Amino acid sequence: MLSLFLVAFVSATLLPGGSEVWLARLWCLGEPAILLWAVATAGNTLGSLVNVAMGRYARQFQDRRWFPASPKRLAQAERWYHKLGEASLLLSWLPVVGDPLTVLAGLFRLPWWRAFLWIVVAKGVRYGVVLGLANQWLLPLCQN
Would you give the end-to-end CA distance of the chain in angstroms?
A: 23
The rounded mean pLDDT for the chain is: 88
The pLDDT value given to residue 144: 54
Q: Is the pLDDT of residue 6 over 90?
A: no
- Residues 117, 25: Cα–Cα separation, whole Å: 28
DSSP letter (8 states) at residue 65: T
3-state helix, strand, coil in the chain (%, to 5): 75, 0, 25
Number of domains in the chain: 1
The pLDDT value given to residue 82: 81
Look up the domain containing 87 and give its range: 2-142
pLDDT band of residue 17 (cuts 50, 70, 90) is confident
Q: Give the global pTM.
A: 0.85
Residues 6+ apart with CB under 8 A from 68: none
Note the pLDDT tens digit of each residue in 70-101.
888 888 888 888 888 899 999 999 988 898 89
pLDDT band of residue 18 (cuts 50, 70, 90) is confident
The pLDDT value given to residue 95: 83
- Residues 119, 36: Cα–Cα separation, whole Å: 18
The pLDDT value given to residue 87: 93
